[in-house]
Each structure stands twice: as structure tokens, then as C-alpha cells.
Chain A
């Protein structure tokens, strides 16, 4: 009996605790999310305003008018310039798009901080006397402001947000940097909570300014006082954070964030009230349900045990059944919790869509950077391709020297593969780096040798063309294999060599060394070039930092840095003007197991000859794939679109279909569908130019066994076919 009681009690306790912990976790995450959104949105909005003000402060006419203290022209011109930003009618403010900030007033201060009163010029719908007095007080801080500051002012004794204006104070300087005065733009302050979240105890926001809290929506005076005090205490410790507060209508989490920790105006804090009441009620109700049900189970068990004292097994069975039910109940409670969360999310959705726009812009920006990086890398990989093919075409005799020709051809292939992987990175861009990403083992000295050969067209021929002689010395000690993305690392090396060449316009020596130090593989790339000043050295890894003027994208070294970081390695730069530069790459050594995996993939097995149908509307691709397959002893039939392929298939059976996806008349997916209807066991390989992007954007057709992304290599095709045969 005691055992039953203890077990049931413990189960209940654990169930309750577990649910509570999860709930707390969910709540915390939600809270953090919301705050992130809140601040991101505020920042974006504020940035738009401050940018606009900065632009305005550079207006020639405003400067001229301020310099002459010509108030009439000052306000007339400002009114023209501010047309888009000023609130045309105060009454329309509640309907305005919150994303387009509308100023409610603007004023100019002269160089001494006195308000230049606009007199008859309409500069906002607010009583100018109160406003000008308030600004006069604020302007005492003017001399401490460097260029621009954001703050809040209170226009009257009210305690809600309508009493406040967010002000952006921007100094106006003349061309020589002399202070002419300042522009103050004022914006109404809004509750950032979504308009539909009006139920009591909802998310609410306000501003803390000069020991007073300005907030809307039925926050009562004692609560306001409590909150103001709370923020006042918390802010002495941190610029941002949150604390719990017990208000009249329930518990809240209060988030606060200093508007600008360095502001020269009155310190102001953004405050957010995040209600816990609804969620706590929910949680409490659930707790009672669990406890009540547990008590019931216990009671029943106890009564049953009285009646059936001899047979312990029966009540135990019952309790076991009860625990199952208990479990179901917990599930139910979790379900309810999920639903509450969904409701909260709904309230957030509005905020999220606007934030999405901000993110999208950021992403486009980053994509632009990517694109120019890609173009840069792509050109790098094209250099050896063009160089070696030129060599082979011009010196036809080289083709008779078979080992030499094959060496060149192999280098051509390697470069082309690298080009393909550069394009692949566009796709990688959408994929965040997997923390558990594992690289195959790579032999560093071999990679260095390869990179030196690959870059030969640049450091030998190109350098000679401008009359410089560059020698490359290598001192490659054997190093244990490193875990690396071979083509990325090769690209990094290529970039470093190119960089060295560019640093030696009059020739010199590039030295590449590999050693093992402190259990790490170390690669040194040194040049005897112009070297860098300390200032340049410190910045040389930054994106878009370049000393090469028009020629440089400023991306080469930042990319090298990115690649090494991705390999969990380190990149150090040693340099001094006239002393040359040394780049030191340290890479972790691969675990022994990784090597095996790579080795296994290249094992050759005996291959049966297959009858293959190749379908592609691009004759050259068709040709290459056919050549690959024939070289492995397979029989090949080709077709130029889906319909033709299907006819071929009807005429005679095939062991394997290799088809392009996008084709005229009938695409690869449709054809695969028809073929699978007739012969479900015939494997279909779909070739696509978009590779993994398709997996992301649309569901892979069920009629296709494997999707292979172009460009297809012999190895990849062979491996895929072997895999399919194995599976069959």
C-alpha cells in the first residue's frame, strides 16, 4: 500500500514538475523572442529616422539659412525638405503606418542652444510655447552632443505616451565643421503592442523617463509607481534586462532597455510589460487537474485495497491504468499549453511580418556581397583553366608528351571542379553551418603542391609578362591528414598565393612550409613583398578592405579567413612594411576514423554492363553522360526529351534511366512517372542544375530514385549507379 502511495505520488510530482519546467522554458523562449523583435523593430525604425535627419543636416539651404539666422528661410526650406516625414494632419496619426515614422514637429536651435522660434510658420501641431520651453531645457545638453542623439521629452504632466515625444537631435555643421546649430525632429511615441491585443493583461509597452513611467492601457497609478521604481533600481545595474513584478492584475515580466546608454539627454528606457497572468492561471489549473486526478486515483486505490486487501495485484493494475490515464492527461495539458502558445504567437505575427521585411533587406544585402565574392572566386578558378588550355592549344607539341598533357588535363579538371563548388556555395549560403559538419581527411602537403601548380599561370607567366620574376619555394614536411573541405582549402591557398604575387610587383620569393606544431598542422605562406603597415595588417581580413584599388574586391583574404574559421582553424598574419608578409594557417588534425570513410568510396568493384537510356535536351550533356557510361562498358541509347524517351522505353526495356529534369514537351518528372507505371523497378536518376535547392523548395518526385546535381562527374555517376544496384 505504502509502495503504491509513494510510486503514485512520485509519478504525480515528476509529471507536474516536468510539465512546469517545459512550460517555463517555452515561456522564456517566447519572451526572449518577443523582446528581440521589439528591439530589432525599434532599431530599424530609429535608424531610418536618424539617417534622414543626418541627410537633412547636410542640406545646403538649411545650412545657409541657419548660418544667417534667417528663420523664415530656415523653416520654409525645412518644411519643403521634411514634407515626406511630417505628419500632414495630426488626426490621421492613429491610422498611419507605424513603419513610416511621421514627425509631429521640428525645430531649429541656434549655435547657443536657443530655440529659433518658427513664428508664423507651421512646424507641427503642438502648442509651440510648451514645446519651445521644453526644448530650451533639453538644449543645455547640446554642447555635449557629438553629432546626433536620440532621446525623449515630456511635453506635459500626463503619464501616458501621448505626453512624450521621441526627439532626434542632429547638429548642423558648416563645411568647415563649425557648429551652426541643431535640428530637432519630434515623433509621437506609440505603444508597440499590436493593436488587436487589447484584452486585459496583455503585452504593453512604455517609456521610462526622469523617474517616471509613461504607459498606456489602464496601468493604474500604484502600478505605475511600482514599475517606475523597479526600472529605476534595475537600470543602475544594467542597461538592459528584465525583472518580475507583481502588479494589481497579476504578475508580469518587465523588460527594460536603455534607449542610448551614452545619450546626453535625460536617460530614457524602453519598457515592456509581458503578462504572466494568463499563463499562470493556465498552469495552476493544470496543476489542480493533475493533483485532483491523482488524489482520486489514490482514493480509489485506497478503497479498493481495503476491499481487496488480499490481492495486491488488482489495485496495482488499476493504478497502473491510472498512470496511463494520467499520462494522457499530461499530454492533454501539454496540448492546451501548445494552443496557448499559438495564441501568443498570433499576437506576435504582425510584428514578425514587418521584421521579415527588415530581414529580407539584410539578406539581399548579404546576397549582393556573396555574389561579388562568387564572381571573384569564379574568376580565380578560371585563371588556370584558361591558362592551361591556352598552353595546350598554342604548344600543340605538349600533347605528344603524354604525362605532361595528362598533368595539365588533371589540373584543368580540378579547377573546373572548384568552379562548380564555388557555385555550390550560393546554395550553401542558405544553409547555416552545421556544427557537426565533418570533413574528410586531406593530405596538406599534397594540397600545397597542387595549389602551387594550379597558380603557376599567375605567378610565372603573368608575373613575367610585367617583367617580374617570382620563385616559389616549398618546404613540405609530412603532416598528419587534416579534416578539410578539400576544394575550399585549395581555394584559400590559391587566394593566399595570388595575394603574395600581388604584393611583389617587382618579383620575389613565395615560400610555403608545412609543419606540425602542438598537435596542429601548420601551413606558412610567406612572401618577400611590400608588406603591410600595422594598421593595414589589423584590417586586412575585413571584408571589402582592399589596398589594390580598383583591382581588389577586398574579399580575397576575408574569404580565406572564413574558410579557415569553418575548419575550426586559425589564421594569423605577420607583416611589416618592406619585410614581406607571412600567413600562418593552423588546422586541427583529422581523427583517424575519417580517413577510412574516404578511402572506401573510391574502391572499385566489378560492374555489370547495363542498358541505359539517357534523356537530355542539351546535346553536349547527353554526349558527356553517354561517354561516361560507355567508358564503363554500358550500352547507351539517347533521347532529346521526355516524350522521345518514353517512346524509346516502349520500344525496348532498359536497366537504368538517366534523365534531365527541365526539358521541352515532357519533363523528367513526368517521364519518370510514366516509366514507373509500366516498370516500377527500373531505377531513374534525375539530373538537375539546381541540386539540393530542389529538395528544399519542392518535394522530390516519388518516381525518381536519385537526384544528381550538375555538373555530373564520372565518379559521382559511377557511385550512384553502384548504390542503386546495391539497393536493388
Chain B
């Protein structure tokens, strides 16, 4: 009986160790760069031809956990995500995905779009398609940054961040984030704002703990 309860305790300990019911949480805030007035003016000026261009997606960062993560094998269900084109903009402006995710690119505008990327992470060109047409589908099988363009609308600019971790989140417009169900251990927490601005902090997650990490501007 005693041995039994000992086993139970050990099993529970192991369970906690790997991030069980009382999963660990990191929350905090990324200080987002002020979008320069100049850039907005620039866009307005050059986008003159596309009078109906909507406001670009609000800026956001992607926060993700990196380190020696125990590989959780693919749970069977395929990873699928979506990068829409709406109001002559990519929506969302930045999309974090896990390696192996398939992304759809539906066109929600009344105009043609032609999404393409010359990024080394993933080169592709979807050709022209319009609303309602079956959108192109791309599988992202390598981690890295993919910059998206539209051949027709020069102002459109989107980013897909292909991450080698299942623990990531896009911040809200104020930079706030909350990553839940994290495993215990020592890791690197990264905030990706742009290719030139990736902020890193090391974190140690203990069982059942919620820690707060902020990423001030560099």
C-alpha cells in the first residue's frame, strides 16, 4: 500500500515535471515600436492608385518559446492556418505558424491578388486569383521568415514566421501576450518584432508557476 502511494507520488511528480494540469504560464508585454508617421504618409502617397486601401493591420509582435523542447509528435490532426487578403492588406500582417503547417491564402477583396514570396525559407507564387476562387495552399516545411508580397498591390506586405516550436503567440495591438500550457525547464523566450528586432530573454519555468516577462524596446 505504501509502495503504491509512493509510486503515485513519483508519478504525480513526473507529471508535474512535464507540465501537467498546473501548466506553467508566461505573460507580459512587448513594447512595440511606434509606427512612424512618415511611413503612413508614404503609404498614402504611393498607394494613390488603390484609393480603397484599408488601414494596415495593427502592428504586433510574435512571442515564442525556444529551447530543448521535448518533441511532441504530430497529434494526427494536420496543422492548418490562414493568411487572408483583405482591404488590400494581408490579414493578419504577421502570422506565426509551426513548421509543417499548411497555410491557405483566401482573397476577401473584390480585386485580384497575386501573392508571392522570394524568401529563401519558402519560394512560391500563387498567380492571380480572386474572391471565392479556391485559394492557393502552401506547406511551410522549414523554419524561418517568409516575406509576402502581392504582385498587383505594391503596398501589401505580410510576414509568415515559421517556428520550430508549438509554443507561440501573436501579441495584441498593445504588445500583451499570455502563453499557457508551457513545460517546466529553462528556455529562451523570444519576441520577434521584425527581422532586425528580435528580443531574447532566458526564462526558467517551475511547476505551476506563472511568470511575468516584459520586452522593453532596445
Binding site for B on A (CB under 8 A): 58, 60-61, 63-65, 67-68, 70, 73, 175-177
8 A-B pairs (CB sep. < 8 Å): A58-B154, A60-B150, A60-B152, A64-B116, A64-B118, A64-B149, A67-B147, A176-B39
Residues of A within 8 A of B130 (CB): none
Asked if B38 is an interface residue, CB under 8 A from chain A, the answer is: yes
Chain A positions within 8 Å of B38 at CB level: 177
Chain B residues whose CB sits within 8 angstroms of the CB of A63 once the complex forms: 149, 154
Contact A68 B154 (CB under 8 A): no
From B114, which residue of chain A is reached at the shortest CB distance? A60
A13 CB to closest chain B CB, in angstroms?
69
With A and B bound together, what is the CA distance between A60 and B151 in angstroms? 6
Chain A contacts for B116, CB-based, 8 A: 61, 64
Q: For B39, list chain A residues within 8 Å (CB).
A: 176-177
**Are B119 and A60 closer than 8 Å at their CB atoms?**
no
B142 close to A (CB within 8 Å)? no
User: In this assembly, does B46 line the interface, its C-beta being within 8 Å of a C-beta of chain A?
Assistant: yes
Residue among A60, A61, A68, A70 facing the most chain B CB atoms (10 A cut-off):
A60
Tell me, yes or no, whether B201 is within 8 Å of chain A by CB: no
Q: Is B155's CB within 8 Å of the partner chain A?
A: yes
A61 to B149, CA, bound (A): 8
Q: Which residues of chain B are near A58, meaning CB under 8 Å?
A: 154
B42 partner residues in chain A, CB cutoff 8 A: 175-177
- Tell me, yes or no, whether B120 is within 8 Å of chain A by CB: yes
**Which of chain A's residues have a CB closer than 8 A to the CB of B157?**
175
Known pairs A175-B42, A175-B43; A68 contacts B147 (CB<8 A): yes
A81 to chain B: closest CB distance in Å? Answer: 12
Cβ contacts under 8 Å, A64 to chain B: 116-118, 147, 149
> Which residue of chain A has the shortest Cβ distance to B47 in the bound complex?
A175
Residues of chain A within 8 A (CB-CB) of B152 are 60
Residues of the B chain whose Cβ atoms lie less than 8 Å from the Cβ of A70: 118, 120, 123
Q: Give the residue name and chain of the B residue nearest to A70 (CB).
A: B118
When distances are taken between beta carbons in the complex, the residues of chain B under 8 Å from A176 are 39, 42
With a cutoff of 8 Å between Cβ atoms, the chain A residues found around residue B147 in the complex are 64, 67-68
State the Cβ distance, A76 to closest chain B Cβ, in Å: 11
* Min distance, Cβ B105 to any Cβ of chain A, angstroms: 16
Q: What's the Cα separation between A60 and B119 when bound, in Å?
A: 14
Q: Which 8 A-B pairs have the closest CB atoms?
A: A68-B118, A70-B118, A64-B149, A60-B154, A64-B118, A65-B118, A73-B118, A176-B39
Shortest distance between the CB of B69 and any CB in chain A (Å): 29
Q: Interface readout for B138-162 with A: 1 if CB under 8 Å, 0 if not?
A: 0000000001011111110100000
- In the bound complex, residues from chain B placing their C-beta under 8 Å from that of A68 are 118-120, 147
Q: How far is the CB of A292 from chain B (nearest CB, A)?
A: 74
A sample of 19 more A-B contacts (CB under 8 A), given A64-B116, A64-B149, A70-B118, is A60-B150, A60-B151, A60-B152, A60-B154, A61-B118, A61-B149, A61-B151, A63-B149, A64-B117, A64-B147, A65-B118, A68-B120, A70-B123, A73-B118, A73-B123, A175-B43, A175-B155, A176-B39, A177-B38
The docked-state distance in angstroms from the alpha carbon of A73 to that of B46 is 24
In the bound complex, CA of A73 to CA of B147 (Å): 15
Q: Which chain A residues border B155 with CB–CB below 8 Å?
A: 175
Question: B residues within 8 A CB of A73?
Answer: 118, 123
Write the chain A residue with the least CB distance to B152. Answer: A60
Determine if A175 and B118 form an interchain contact, defined as CB atoms under 8 angstroms apart.
no
Expressed in whole angstroms, the Cα–Cα distance for A65 and B147 within the complex equals 11
Q: Chain B: which residue is nearest A176 at the CB level?
A: B39
A726 to B123, CA, bound (A): 91
CB distance from A7 to the nearest CB of B (A): 78
CB distance from B193 to the nearest CB of A (A): 14
Q: How far is the CA of A627 from the CA of B104 in the complex (A)?
A: 81
What is the CA–CA distance of A161 and B123 in the complex, to the nearest angstrom?
Answer: 43
With A176-B39, A176-B42 as known contacts, state yes or no: A60 contacts B149, CB within 8 Å.
Answer: yes
Q: Which residue, B39, B118, B123, has most C-beta atoms of chain A within 10 A?
A: B118
Residues of B within 8 A of A67 (CB): 118, 147
Residue of B nearest to A65 (CB): B118
When chains A and B are docked, how far (Å) is the Cα of A2 from the Cα of B152? 92
In chain B, positions 18-42 with a C-beta closer than 8 Å to chain A are 38-39, 42
Residues from chain B with a CB closer than 8 A to the CB of A175 are: 42-43, 46, 154-155, 157
**Chain B CB within 10 A, most for which of A61, A64, A73, A176:** A64
| Residues in B neighbouring A65, C-beta threshold 8 A | 118
Note all chain B residues with C-beta closer than 8 A to A177. Answer: 38-39, 42
Q: Interface readout for B66-97 with A: 1 if CB under 8 Å, 0 if not?
A: 00000000000000000000000000000000
